[in-house]
Amino acid sequence: MSRFYLTTAIDYVNSRPHLGTAYEKITADVIARYKRLSGVTTRFLMGNDEHSQNVFRRARELGLEPLEYCNRMEQEFRGVWQALGISFDDFIRTTEPRHRVGVTWMVERIATAGDLYEGFYEGWYCVSCEAFKQEKDLVDGNCPIHRVRPEWIRERNHFFRLSKYRDALVSLFDRHPEFLLPDVRRNEILRLLEGGLEDISISRAGQAWGIPLPTDPSSAVYVWFDALINYASAVGLGDAHDARFAEWWPADLHVIGKDITRFHTVVWPAMLMSAGLELPRQVFGHGWVHLGGQKMSKSLGTTLDPAEVAGKFGADPLRLYLVKEIPYGQDGDFTWERYEERYNVDLANNLGNLVSRVAAMVDKYRGGRLGAPESSPDALASKASETVQVYRRAMDGFALHEAAAAAFRLVDAANEFIAQTEPWALARDPAQAGRLDAVLSGAVETVRIAAVLLLPVMPAAAAEILARMGENRPPASLRLDEDTTWRVEPERVVSKASALWPRAE
């Protein structure tokens, strides 16, 4: 049976999720839900990255023990993810014992492979990136991402022989062009590999907040080396590798932001090669969500609270906006004006209005019950089946925006069909009763299929629409193949209810 193991980046918890970090979780959730809808056994992992110096500092500012602070933040994160309808199957924290076991095992394996050595590190370190920086990376002496001056570090460190894996990585990218998507990200990494790789420091001397380096417990494992291992420790990496590891490793897809592709497609595969483990099959580096054209960042204070945005029209309109309006893989922008405009067009006027009209007409002309029609509108039925194909191709190629747009084109087609067939005129002529049945059933069926397609993007709203159209099976039991095939039901009970999305003025 096919299975799909999908992960997102794990978040630093020095502040609450913002719209940019939420974007990543929402898009990964769409992929997870699409896989489940396709009948694939899916495991969707998320989590928190806790051993960062910024987390430690934030806890201290608040007068809390770091772990106590992280416990509180876990609740904050889970609360936001729940409000956004994120359907993760597992949530890992890097302070959990299961993760420590995995990190310890992995570092020991890498040491046994001869890939760790002691050296001296002197150079810049940006705490917000949790990354070592070279002079040439800085702009006016500052980290170009966080616009703060990095710290100068001089310490004895343990190094990982990353340089040794350069050729193996080049060959990986050669053999598996699909390993890193989209292509712009792949090209960046190929250029980086062409320039050669330097070994990296993987420990921080004398640091108490972190996982002790098994080969030198006075040092902590460098937070990135620690964090990357979460994907494997969450499924049981460790001394005995429990049964889940055999079942779920390697991961099928890591969904991450474009700023951290180097860690995921250079450092992480090299670590796995060194430890003799299989490599993840694919990494997708999505773009950035900007706020009114400005970079969104915790450290710059230009962020938006996703729970607040979801509070305005609900989580599903926000999910739809982020998925449909931003070509997946590229950068995109959020402004309240544009958000409201799209809400009115796509939801209030288009999908919401369609659902209300169809239910109201079935109620008015047929008392809410439709029998089997004598015929189906062929053009609409073929539009639906063509849409399903376009949708599948788009989803399978991670063009999530195109998949959402395809579902909305089917909604447009249903609206046009109603405008052309004029059920209100048919209803005035008793001789047209059979035709009216066919038109109403065709409209209901099209709305039903569009709602199945929208389940991954707008899970709650699509479930509500399905229920109104008389689908009484639980959404989780629906399957893309069977349930997007045009149906002629012997009976449908359609219910009228209040507007799903009242127009925003």
Question: Which residues pair with residue 132 across a beta bridge?
Answer: 125
Number of shown-chain residues binding ligand MSP (CB under 6 A)? 19
Which of 4, 16, 24, 27 is in the footprint of ligand MSP by CB under 6 A? 24
23 binds ligand MSP (CB under 6 A): yes
260 binds ligand MSP (CB under 6 A): yes
267 binds ligand MSP (CB under 6 A): no
Which segments of 421-502 are extended strands (E)?
491-493
**Nearer to ligand MSP (CB atom), residue 326 or residue 413:** 326
**Subset of residues 381 to 410 that bind ligand MSP, contact rule: CB under 6 A:** none
- Options 55-63, 65-73, 255-263, 434-442: segment touching ligand MSP (CB under 6 A): 255-263
Which of 4, 12, 225, 245 is in the footprint of ligand MSP by CB under 6 A? 12
- Options 5-13, 337-345, 381-389, 407-415: segment touching ligand MSP (CB under 6 A): 5-13
280 binds ligand MSP (CB under 6 A): no
**Subset of residues 210 to 249 that bind ligand MSP, contact rule: CB under 6 A:** 227-228, 230
- What one-character DSSP code corresponds to residue 278? P
- What one-character DSSP code corresponds to residue 469? T
For residue 381, the minimal CB distance to ligand MSP (Å) is 39
**Nearer to ligand MSP (CB atom), residue 100 or residue 392:** 100
Give the residue carrying structure tokens 């920086």: 133
Q: Could you give the CA distance from residue 294 to residue 177 in angstroms, rounded to a whole number?
A: 32
**Nearer to ligand MSP (CB atom), residue 15 or residue 376:** 15
User: What is the number of helices (H) and of strands (E) in the chain?
Assistant: 21, 19
Q: Dihedral through CA 335, CA 339, CA 342, CA 348, nearest 10?
A: -160
Cα of 57 vs its chain's centroid, Å = 29
**Which among 224, 335, 309 has a CA at the least distance from the CA of 18?**
309
- What one-character DSSP code corresponds to residue 263? I
Q: Could you give the CA distance from residue 460 to residue 319 in angstroms, rounded to a whole number?
A: 11
Residues 6+ apart with CB under 8 A from 393: none
CB 323 within 8 A of CB 400: yes
| Contact string 169-208 vs ligand MSP (x = CB under 6 A) | ----------------------------------------
For residue 101, the minimal CB distance to ligand MSP (Å) is 17
For residue 277, the minimal CB distance to ligand MSP (Å) is 16
284 binds ligand MSP (CB under 6 A): no
Which of 4, 5, 6, 11 is in the footprint of ligand MSP by CB under 6 A? 11
Q: What is the C-alpha end-to-end distance of the chain, expressed in Å?
A: 49
Residue nearest to ligand MSP (CB): 257
**Nearer to ligand MSP (CB atom), residue 24 or residue 340:** 24
Separation in Å, CA 299 to CA 21, 124, 295, 374, 413:
13, 18, 11, 63, 45
For residue 292, the minimal CB distance to ligand MSP (Å) is 12
- What one-character DSSP code corresponds to residue 328? B
Give the residue carrying structure tokens 């997007």: 484
- What one-character DSSP code corresponds to residue 414? H
For ligand MSP, the binding residues (CB under 6 A) are 9-12, 20-21, 23-24, 49, 227-228, 230, 256-257, 259-260, 288-289, 296
